[in-house]
Chains A and B, each alone.
Chain A
Amino acid sequence: MQQTGLSASNLSVFYGEKEAIKNVSLAFSPREVTALIGPSGCGKSTFLRSLNRMNDTIGGVRTKGEIWIDGENINEPGVDVVLLRQKIGMVWQRPNPFHKSIYENIAFGPRYHGVRKKKQLDEIVEECLRKSALWEETKDRLHSSALALSGGQQQRLCIARSIAVKPKVILMDEPASALDPVSTAKVEELIAELKQDYSIVIVTHNMHQAARVSDKTAFFYMGKVVEYDKTDKIFTNPSQKATDDYISGRFG
Chain B
Amino acid sequence: MSAKTADRIATAVIVAVSGLIVILLAGLLGYILFRGLPNISFHFLTSGPQTIKAGGGIGPQLFNSLFLLVLTLIITIPVGLGAGIYMSQYAKPGRVTDSIRLIVEVLSSFPSIVVGLFGLLVIVNIFGLGFSLFSGALALTVFNLPLMVRITEQAMNGVAREQKEASLALGLSRWKTITSVMLPIAMPAIVTGTILAAGRVFGEAAALLFTAGMSSPRLDFTNWNPLSPFSPLNPFRPAETLAVHIWKINSEGLAPDATQIAAGASAVLIIMVLIFNFSARWFGRYLHRKFTATK
Closest residue to B89 on the A side, CB-wise? A57
Q: Are B162 and A99 in contact (CB under 8 A)?
A: no
Residues of A within 8 A of B174 (CB): 82
Known: A99-B292, A145-B294, A147-B292. A90 touches B171 (CB 8 A): no
Known: A99-B184, A108-B180, A143-B294. A57 touches B164 (CB 8 A): yes
Residues of B within 8 A of A162 (CB): 169-170
Q: Are A57 and B165 in contact (CB under 8 A)?
A: yes
* Nearest 4 pairs of A and B residues by beta carbon: A86-B171, A96-B162, A109-B170, A90-B169
Residues of A within 8 A of B291 (CB): 99
Q: State the CA gap A92–B169 with chains docked (Å).
A: 11
Q: Interface size (A, Cβ < 8 Å)?
A: 35
Q: State the CA gap A54–B171 with chains docked (Å).
A: 11
8 further contact pairs, Cβ within 8 A, besides A89-B170, A96-B163, A109-B170: A82-B174, A90-B169, A98-B163, A98-B166, A98-B181, A147-B293, A161-B166, A165-B170
Q: Are B172 and A145 in contact (CB under 8 A)?
A: no
Of the candidates A59, A96, A162, the one having the most CB atoms from chain B within 10 angstroms of its own CB is A96
Chain A nearest CB from B80 CB (Å) reads: 23
B interface residues with partner A (beta carbon < 8 Å): 92-93, 160-174, 176, 180-181, 184-185, 291-295
A interface residues with partner B (beta carbon < 8 Å): 52, 54, 57, 59, 82-90, 92, 94, 96, 98-101, 104, 108-109, 112-113, 143-145, 147-148, 158, 161-162, 164-165
Chain A nearest CB from B20 CB (Å) reads: 40
Chain A nearest CB from B96 CB (Å) reads: 14
Q: Select A94's contact among B162, B169, B181, beta carbons within 8 Å.
A: B162
Known: A59-B93, A86-B171. A145 touches B165 (CB 8 A): no
Residues of A within 8 A of B185 (CB): 99
Known: A57-B165, A99-B291, A143-B295. A108 touches B170 (CB 8 A): yes
Closest residue to A165 on the B side, CB-wise? B170
Known: A98-B163, A99-B184. A85 touches B171 (CB 8 A): yes
Q: Select B176's contact among A92, A112, A143, beta carbons within 8 Å.
A: A112
Residues of B within 8 A of A84 (CB): 171
Q: State the CA gap A82–B170 with chains docked (Å).
A: 9
Q: Is the interface of B mostly helix, strand, loop or mixed?
A: helix
Residues of B within 8 A of A108 (CB): 167, 170, 180
Residues of A within 8 A of B165 (CB): 54, 57, 90, 92, 96
Known: A144-B294, A145-B293, A145-B294. A96 touches B160 (CB 8 A): yes
Q: Are B171 and A98 in contact (CB under 8 A)?
A: no
Residues of B within 8 A of A94 (CB): 162
Q: Are A98 and B294 in contact (CB under 8 A)?
A: no
Residues of A within 8 A of B164 (CB): 57
Q: Are A112 and B93 in contact (CB under 8 A)?
A: no
In the assembled complex, 22 residue pairs joining A and B whose CB atoms fall closer than 8 Å, in A order, are: A54-B165, A82-B171, A82-B172, A83-B171, A85-B168, A85-B169, A86-B170, A87-B171, A89-B170, A90-B166, A96-B160, A96-B163, A100-B184, A104-B295, A108-B180, A112-B171, A112-B172, A112-B176, A144-B293, A144-B294, A161-B166, A161-B170
Chain B nearest CB from A3 CB (Å) reads: 21
Residues of B within 8 A of A158 (CB): 166
Q: Select B169's contact among A89, A100, A112, A143, beta carbons within 8 Å.
A: A89
Residues of A within 8 A of B180 (CB): 108
Residues of B within 8 A of A109 (CB): 170-172
Residues of B within 8 A of A96 (CB): 160, 162-163, 165-166
Chain A nearest CB from B242 CB (Å) reads: 39
Residues of A within 8 A of B169 (CB): 52, 54, 85, 88-90, 162
Of the candidates B164, B169, B184, B185, the one having the most CB atoms from chain A within 10 angstroms of its own CB is B169
Q: Select B170's contact among A85, A100, A104, beta carbons within 8 Å.
A: A85
Closest residue to B163 on the A side, CB-wise? A96
Q: Are A59 and B294 in contact (CB under 8 A)?
A: no
Q: State the CA gap A112–B166 with chains docked (Å).
A: 14
Chain A nearest CB from B100 CB (Å) reads: 16
Chain A nearest CB from B154 CB (Å) reads: 18
Q: Are B295 and A100 in contact (CB under 8 A)?
A: yes
Q: State the CA gap A124–B295 with chains docked (Å).
A: 19
Closest residue to A95 on the B side, CB-wise? B162
Closest residue to B94 on the A side, CB-wise? A59
Residues of B within 8 A of A161 (CB): 166, 170
Residues of A within 8 A of B176 (CB): 112
Q: State the CA gap A92–B295 with chains docked (Å).
A: 25
Closest residue to B171 on the A side, CB-wise? A86
Residues of A within 8 A of B292 (CB): 99, 145, 147
Q: State the CA gap A6–B4 with chains docked (Å).
A: 61
Q: State the CA gap A74–B174 with chains docked (Å).
A: 17
Chain A nearest CB from B186 CB (Å) reads: 11
